Structures are given as C-alpha cells and as structure tokens.
C-alpha cells in the first residue's frame, strides 16, 4: 500500500435493484477500510456485464478519470475481478506515466481480499496458503502489472518498462516460487493430518459463516478463550481449535476464515486444507448477522460455498446472532417464531436466535450443540450414558 490512502470504488449496478448495488458498494468500502483505505467517492454504471476493455463504458470512464486526476486519488478499487487486459487498459487510462505522477493503484476484488489476507495470516500454514494464492494471481498478470504490484509492495519501482526478457525471467521465478510453496504446504498438511488422526475419537464442531458475523466472539464465549474479534472483515484468517466440554461431553470447536461473496477462487483452492476443518466436522454452527440488512443473501453465499467444498450434508445449527441490534417497531414487530418457521422451511432444522454480546440465549445454544454432539459421541462411545441437559 502506498502513502495516498484515498480511494474511489467502482461497481456495476442493476437498475432494477439499486439497493443491492448500494449494499455491494458498502461491503467493498468496508473491505477497503479493513485494508486501511478511505473511500471518498463511489462510481456505478448500470451494465449487464463489464466492458471488455475498461470495465466501465467510455463516458463513465472519462468521469472517473477526471475525478481521480482532480482529487489526486491514490487507489481505484473495482468490485469484480479484472482480466489482465482490462487491467492493462485501465493502467493506461488512469495512470499516464510521468516522473512527477506517483500513480494511482488499481485494485480488483481479488487483489484487495488477497492484500487483507496477507496482512492477517499468522500461522505458517495460512501464510503459505495466501502466498500461493497471491503468486497464482500474479502469474498471468506479469506485464506492466508487475511494476504496478512491485510499487504496491513497497518496491523501488525501478523495473518500469521491463522488457519481454525480464518478464520471462520473472515468470520463471514465480513458477518456481509456486512449486516451492506447494511443497511447503504439502509438508504442513501432512503434520495436520497426523494431528487430526489423533483427534478422530473426539466429536468435531466447526463455526462457519459470512465474515464479521460473530464467529470468533461465539468461539470465545463457548470456549472461554481469547481470539481476536473485531469489527473488520476477515479478522480471522487462521483456524483455531479449542476443546470444549458441555455437560460432560467433550468436543473440539474450530473457528476459521469467514466467507464472502465472490471469494477469489485461488484463495478457496489454496485454503483447501484450512477448510478441511469445516469439511471434516461432525456438526456445523452456521452463524448469521441477523442485524445485517442482507443476511439472507449472506446465508445463501455461505450455503453455496459449503456445497462447493463438499460440506453440504453436515448437520447444521443455524445461529441468528446480534439480535440485540434489532429494534422492533409497530410496523415491523419481531416475530421470532414466524422467523424460525421461515428458516425451517428453507431446510434448517435447528434454528436459534442469540446475542453473543449480551449473552442472550447462549444456554439455549449450548443445549442445542449438546444434543447434536451427543448423537455423534454415542456413535463413537456406544456405552456412554448421556445425561439430559
Ligand atoms: N451488537 C453485537 N455485536 C456483535 C455480536 N457478536 C459479535 N459482535 C461484533 O461483531 C463484530 C465481528 O465479530 P467477530 O467475532 O470478529 O466476527 P467473525 O465472524 O469472527 O468475523 P471474521 O473473523 O472477520 O470473519 C465484532 O465487532 C463483534 O464485537 C452481538 O451479538 N451483538
Ligand atoms: Mg473471526
């Protein structure tokens, strides 16, 4: 990231659903904020699909260009992924090279998320996974983009105008780096598999959900541990496992990376081993920010991502969190029973409303987890005599 931390964010809109476009832009601005970048203006254009050359059409592009120049904006962030050629064209349009122009940085959605993950990853496994995804993202974009990314990463920028030969050397280096990272990941995974085998006699429960819904807060509450929970996207990138005992039955509870719409596929790919924690769980606790205006869309994104990683069939408890933020009005009373029925119809058998902050209904949640864990525990230990909760 450079010194100029202002940005404009750019997204395509749907004329029929302006509120959804706004919500997407809110999320993008929140992602930018998480990366330390302040949004000073939003640009949208109602298009079915991005312009193949410059994402925006000609007129809008001109408007964006003028604004960026006039306000000396540091970053332009696009809500979708840009093709390598769109990126090159945008660089030319927005970034006319001159010695006194520090240059505007162009982010697409993947690059922004990758940057946040790079900032957040702590363990060797998470760091290796993110670096792998980053190199895979970089490889097809190694042209002018290289100098662009070098600058972004605090490089000297002296490679400007790199010739084909240098680019070819760079490509070779990146390929080498990719295979080194893959090897390293394999080794780490081997250790994790051994660890996991030793845990096969214990029931495993995983917290899943959209980012920023309260997974880590619930994890802390249920396991009395302290994991960083904050009002930022992707506060958790590493996965953490804790032993929890409810009513004499022990189980392992894991907290892991949150999901988001349009999660870069390289990241899902390289996070496969982290996501094993989810895939191999006996019970999933799907946490939802019930106070978020588009929580149903977020539920759909999570359900789809779970299906993508092969975790669709795992028994799930749907936890609708943050109910302390819901202020029912006369026109919109809060009928929790009706809401429960609604989610049951959507296929969620176990539904519960809680507030992790106000500790509301946490005992009810524990009881629900206990009932699910007990089923699996009795399969491993048929002679165990369960108590009623
Ligand atoms: N008002 C309210 N805020 C909550 C509640 N639960 C969590 N939060 C807040 O929501 C924000 C996100 O919480 P986290 O626990 O970090 O969420 P997460 O799902 O782990 O998020 P990521 O790791 O970023 O994916 C924090 O600011 C929490 O304090 C709740 O019940 N009510
Ligand atoms: Mg978290």
Residues sharing a CB contact under 8 Å with residue 166, sequence separation 6 or more, in sequence order: 159
CB distance 240 to ligand 1 below 6 Å: no
* Closest atom of ligand 1 relative to the 219 alpha carbon: 15
Better-scored residue on pLDDT, 98 or 270: 270
209 and 141 together in one domain: no
352 within some domain = yes
Predicted local confidence at residue 276, as pLDDT: 84
Q: What is the mean pLDDT of residues 144-163?
A: 48
Residue 264, pLDDT > 50, answer yes
Per-residue pLDDT tens over the stretch 14-59: 889 999 899 999 999 999 999 999 999 999 999 989 999 999 999 9
30 within some domain = yes
Q: 357 falls in which pLDDT band (50, 70, 90)?
A: very high
Mean pLDDT of the chain: 87
Predicted local confidence at residue 139, as pLDDT: 87
Q: Between vectors from CA 250 to CA 248 and to CA 253, what angle results, nearest 5°?
A: 140
Residue 146, pLDDT > 80, answer no
Domain CATH number, residue 227: 3.40.50.300
357 and 219 together in one domain: yes
Predicted TM-score of the model (pTM): 0.88
Q: Comparing 157-161, 274-278, 281-285, 383-387, which segment has the lowest mean pLDDT?
A: 157-161
205 and 159 together in one domain: no
171 within some domain = no
Q: Above pLDDT 90, what percent of the chain?
A: 57
152 and 222 together in one domain: no
For ligand 1, atom 11, which residue shows the shortest CA distance?
231
215 and 363 together in one domain: yes
Determine the distance separating the centroid of ligand 2 and the alpha carbon of 114, expressed in angstroms: 17
User: Which string of DSSP letters, residue by residue, matches 221-270?
Assistant: HHH-------SSTTS--S-EEEEEEETTEEEEEEE-PPB-TT--HHHHHH
* Closest atom of ligand 1 relative to the 255 alpha carbon: 20
111, 140, 164 — which closes off a domain? 164
CB distance 254 to ligand 1 below 6 Å: no
For ligand 1, atom 13, which residue shows the shortest CA distance?
214
213 and 125 together in one domain: no
| Residue 123, Cβ density class (10 Å: 0-12 exposed, 13-18 middle, ≥19 buried) | middle
Q: Do the beta carbons of residue 261 and residue 254 sit within 8 Å?
A: no
Q: What is the mean pLDDT of residues 148-161?
A: 46
Full residue range of the structural domain in which residue 102 is found: 3-164
258 and 357 together in one domain: yes
Residue 343, pLDDT > 80, answer yes
Q: What is the mean pLDDT of residues 220-244?
A: 83
| Residues pairing with 243 in the sheet | 252
Which ligand sits nearest to residue 218's alpha carbon? 1
Q: Comparing 117-131, 192-206, 245-259, 359-373, which segment has the lowest mean pLDDT?
A: 192-206
Residue 2, pLDDT > 70, answer no
CA 127 to each of CA 41, 176, 326, 365, 385: distance values in angstroms, whole numbers, following the listed order? 33, 17, 37, 33, 43
Q: What is the mean pLDDT of residues 292-317?
A: 95
Q: Comparing 105-119, 131-145, 325-339, which segment has the lowest mean pLDDT?
A: 131-145
* Closest atom of ligand 1 relative to the 209 alpha carbon: 19
Q: 365 falls in which pLDDT band (50, 70, 90)?
A: very high
157 and 267 together in one domain: no
Predicted local confidence at residue 143, as pLDDT: 64
Predicted local confidence at residue 326, as pLDDT: 92
Predicted local confidence at residue 160, as pLDDT: 47
CB distance 286 to ligand 1 below 6 Å: no
271 within some domain = yes
Residue 259, pLDDT > 60, answer yes
Determine the distance separating the centroid of ligand 2 and the alpha carbon of 206, expressed in angstroms: 12
For ligand 1, atom 1, which residue shows the shortest CA distance?
322
Which residue out of 33, 119, 206, 212 has the highest number of ligand 1 atoms within 8 Å of its CB and is therefore the one to mutate?
Answer: 212
CA distance 244 to 364: 16
Q: 155 falls in which pLDDT band (50, 70, 90)?
A: very low
Residue 122, pLDDT > 50, answer yes
CA distance 329 to 66: 45
Our count of domains for the chain comes to 2
Q: What is the mean pLDDT of residues 370-384?
A: 92
For ligand 1, atom 28, which residue shows the shortest CA distance?
230
135 within some domain = yes
Predicted local confidence at residue 150, as pLDDT: 52
Residue 157, pLDDT > 50, answer no
Which ligand sits nearest to residue 287's alpha carbon? 1
144 within some domain = yes
258 and 118 together in one domain: no
118 within some domain = yes
114, 141, 164 — which closes off a domain? 164
236 and 361 together in one domain: yes
Residue 152, pLDDT > 60, answer no
111 and 213 together in one domain: no
Residue 78, pLDDT > 90, answer yes
User: Which string of DSSP letters, residue by residue, matches 162-196?
Assistant: --HHHHHHHHHHHHHHHHHHHHHHHHHHHHHHHHH
Residue 145, pLDDT > 90, answer no
Per-residue pLDDT tens over the stretch 233-242: 888 877 888 9
Predicted local confidence at residue 96, as pLDDT: 66
138 and 254 together in one domain: no
353 within some domain = yes
111, 146, 164 — which closes off a domain? 164
Domain CATH number, residue 102: 3.40.50.11060
């Amino acid at each position: 990231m450079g010194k100029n931390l202002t940005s404009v964010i750019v997204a395509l809109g749907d004329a029929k659903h302006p509120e959804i476009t706004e919500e997407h832009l809110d999320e993008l601005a929140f992602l930018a904020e998480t990366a330390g970048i302040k949004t000073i203006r939003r640009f949208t254009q109602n298009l079915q699909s991005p312009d193949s050359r410059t994402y925006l059409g000609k007129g809008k592009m001109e408007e964006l260009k003028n604004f960026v120049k006039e306000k000396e904006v540091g970053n332009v962030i696009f809500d979708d992924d840009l093709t390598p050629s769109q990126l090159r064209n945008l660089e030319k349009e927005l970034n006319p090279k001159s010695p006194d122009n520090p240059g505007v940085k162009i982010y697409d959605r993947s690059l922004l998320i990758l940057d946040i993950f790079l900032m957040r990853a702590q363990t060797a496994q998470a760091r290796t996974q993110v670096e792998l995804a980053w190199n895979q993202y970089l490889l097809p974009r190694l042209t002018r983009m290289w100098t662009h990314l070098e600058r972004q990463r605090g490089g000297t920028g002296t490679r400007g105008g790199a010739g084909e030969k240098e680019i070819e050397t760079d490509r070779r280096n990146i390929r080498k780096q990719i295979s080194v990272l893959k090897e390293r990941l394999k080794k780490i995974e081997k250790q994790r598999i051994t660890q996991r085998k030793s845990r096969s006699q214990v029931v495993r429960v995983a917290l899943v959900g959209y980012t920023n819904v309260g997974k880590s807060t619930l994890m802390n509450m249920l396991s009395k541990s302290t994991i960083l929970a904050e009002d930022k996207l992707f506060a958790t990138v590493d996965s953490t496992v804790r032993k929890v005992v409810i009513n004499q039955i022990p189980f392992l509870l894991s907290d892991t990376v949150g999901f988001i719409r349009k999660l870069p596929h390289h990241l899902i790919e390289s996070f496969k081993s982290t996501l094993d924690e989810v895939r191999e769980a006996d019970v999933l606790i799907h946490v939802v920010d019930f106070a978020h205006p588009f929580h149903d869309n977020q539920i759909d994104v999570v359900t789809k991502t779970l299906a993508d990683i092969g975790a669709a069939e795992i028994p799930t408890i749907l936890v609708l969190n943050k109910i302390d933020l819901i202020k029912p009005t006369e026109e919109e009373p809060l009928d929790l029973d009706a809401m429960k029925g609604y989610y049951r119809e959507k296929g969620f058998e176990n539904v519960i409303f809680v507030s992790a902050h106000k500790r509301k209904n946490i005992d009810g949640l524990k009881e629900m987890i206990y009932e699910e864990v007990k089923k699996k525990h009795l399969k491993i230990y048929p002679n165990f005599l369960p108590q009623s909760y």
